[in-house]
Amino acid sequence: MVSSEEGRSSMSQSTEVVDVVVVGARPAGTATAIALARRGRRVVALDRASFPSDTLSTHVLFAGCVVELHRSGALERVLETGAPKLPAVQLSAAGHDVRGHYTPVDGIDYGLCVRRIGLDMALVETARAAGAEVRERCTVTEVLWEGGRAAGVRYTDPDGASRELRARLVVGADGRRSQMAQLLGSDVYRTAENGRGLAFHYVRDPWAGDPEGAAHRDSITQWRVGDTLGMFFPTDQEGGLALFMPPKEDISRFRKDADGVWAEKVASNPGLRRRLAGTEREGKLRSTADVEAFFRVSSGAGWALVGDAGHFKDPVVAQGIRDALRFGRRLGETAAEALDHPEWLDRRLFAWELERDAECLPSFYLGRKHTRTHPVSQLEQEFFREAADDPRLAQELADVFARTRKPQQLFRLDRQLRWFAKAALRRGADRGALVREAVEELRLDARMQWDLAVLRSGRRAGGGTWNRWGRNGWSPRVALRPARPAPSAPVRQRPVDASWNAGADPAPPAGETTPAAASSPPGSAGDGAPPAPRPARRRKQPATTAA
């Protein structure tokens, strides 16, 4: 950790001063940089990679994600990759096909699947065009601190020289194994274990060059057979992505015998087998069983974590890139006007974090449900039966994936009760298993509603002991160090208010009069974002917040 005096004495020709430094230049980092640069802020994004660069990803972009590409200004560049537009979502299970189309948003009514080499390069080029500087082959080695605040980073440039970037805001956008989270002293405080792994191949698709192939390349498609999901997504480069999400225990089998297990899975999934007829596999199999979902503390004194660095959902719901783009953009919008007011900036960052969590929690819980590896359940069969014959219900399903409709709006209690009754009345129904399934669904739904209520009260849902350390109050006397001993016992959460502050709020930037503006910005989608922390009377800071 660098003290204020040490920091000033170390200033040299190798030290630059910028408004914001972003560590990571893939979707989350570029979206943040674009939003800041467009608001006149000098922002530098650092990345270890040299672009174009690939990375492990399922890279499904539902319509809501395409909307974010449009808002970032990157959509035209992304479409230049040749990725086909995918206006439909199709899920097949229990002998029923549910095919839904999106409700248009900003004129966007289609999804995409773009290989990450093309997607990330398009975003880097868009960030540069917006005025951000993206530096490649740079490795961050240290976070710089001053007065208890993150004040920049030290990094190694492509020539091996050590350099410093001083900044008002430090943003970690370096993925779910975030080194920045470690350097900033943030850790995971909430997890959800996954049940599924993933394994996929790129393929050459003969339908891509066929004038009659449009009907075969217009949808994001999933076939559920037994305990395994099989999927096909048409991609750029006249190809496709064929993917299995089996029980995570199967991933070790894939790694021992990739061709044999792949053939076994294809043979057991008739729908995917038919779609893969005539295709030719490209490259080696890619796989992972490490997809545990989590939340990290994602904001602090002069710093924020965005994208997978701060929150990761089970990839079974394919929402990671959408949330990286959306909340990178929102972070840039939220922070841009507050960079000259440190305490106000910290409050806005925390309000941004709560906004993100309120919007992401429903998808987090949807992932918890769909990561379970049992065969299609009795309740799920009733949903598929009804949705296969009801275009409106199928459209609602597509809109849930697009994030223009919340999962709880689709899976309403009255519908779940109707599906329960129909399933219970069917000949041969296992009513005991049905009751257990319904109870588990209601338990998860109730837990989600509780977490959303906690967020609306101005606290992190499940934040636990982090609140005790002053993270929710932004005391200027709390220095966030890379390592901190854990308290001996869990501590009850406290609401966020100024009782955790050493002083009154600073004056907000021009045009803003209340911290609530940080959680409901002009032009935002709203989506039930919680209010920002409210000022309260000044109190003596608890001794337990000491570093």
Residues 310 and 163 in one domain: yes
Give the span between the Cα atoms of 430 and 422, in whole angstroms. Answer: 12
Q: Is residue 385 part of a domain?
A: yes
Q: Do residue 235 and residue 124 come from a single domain?
A: no
Nearest 10 degrees: CA dihedral of 156, 161, 166, 171? -10
- What is the CATH number for 256? 3.30.9.100
pLDDT digits (tens, 9 = 90+) for 179-231: 999 999 998 888 998 899 999 999 999 999 888 888 999 999 999 999 999 99
Mean pLDDT of the chain: 85
Residue 508 included in any domain: no
Non-local CB neighbours of 83 within 8 Å, separated by 6+ positions = 112, 113, 114, 118, 234, 235, 236
User: Same domain, yes or no, for 118 and 185?
Assistant: yes
Q: What distance, in Å, lies between the first and last C-alpha atoms of the chain?
A: 13
Could you read off the pLDDT of 376-419 as tens digits, one per residue?
999 999 999 999 999 999 999 999 999 999 999 999 999 999 99
Tens of pLDDT, residue by residue over 269-313, are: 999 999 999 999 999 999 999 889 999 999 999 999 999 999 999
Count the neighbouring beta carbons within 10 Å of the beta carbon of residue 189: 18
Q: What is the pLDDT of residue 96?
A: 97
Residue 36: what residue type?
L
Count of structural domains within the chain: 3
Residue 464 included in any domain: no
14 has a pLDDT exceeding 90: no
Rounded Cα distance, 249 and 246, in Å: 8
| CB distance 329 to 314 below 8 Å | no
In what helix (H) or strand (E) does residue 465 lie, and over which residues does it extend?
Answer: none
- Position 463 scores a pLDDT of 60
Q: Which residues contact 277 (CB under 8 A, 6 or more apart)?
A: none
Q: State whether 125 and 176 are in the same domain.
A: yes
Domain termination site, one of 336, 364, 392: 364
Q: Which of 417, 441, 456 is the last residue of a domain?
A: 456
Last residue of a domain, one of 261, 288, 315: 288
The pLDDT value given to residue 518: 36
pLDDT digits (tens, 9 = 90+) for 405-456: 999 999 999 999 999 999 999 999 999 999 999 999 999 999 999 999 999 9
Residues 160, 16 share a domain = yes
Q: Same domain for 76 and 183?
A: yes
- Regarding whether 182 and 132 lie in a shared domain, the answer is yes
Distance CA 170, CA 487 (A): 27
Q: What confidence category does residue 529 fall into, taking pLDDT thresholds of 50, 70 and 90?
A: very low
Query: Does residue 546 carry a pLDDT above 80?
Result: no
Structural domain boundaries, residue 309: 4-86+108-192+293-364
Looking at the fold, whether 282 and 356 belong to one and the same domain comes out as no
Is residue 185 a contact partner of residue 483, using CB atoms and an 8 Å limit? yes
Asked whether the beta carbons of 157 and 143 are under 8 A apart, the reply is no
Q: What is the CATH classification number for the domain harbouring 300?
A: 3.50.50.60
Rounded mean pLDDT, 157-168: 96
**Residue 165 near residue 16, CB atoms below 8 Å:** yes
Residue 492 belongs to some domain of the structure? no
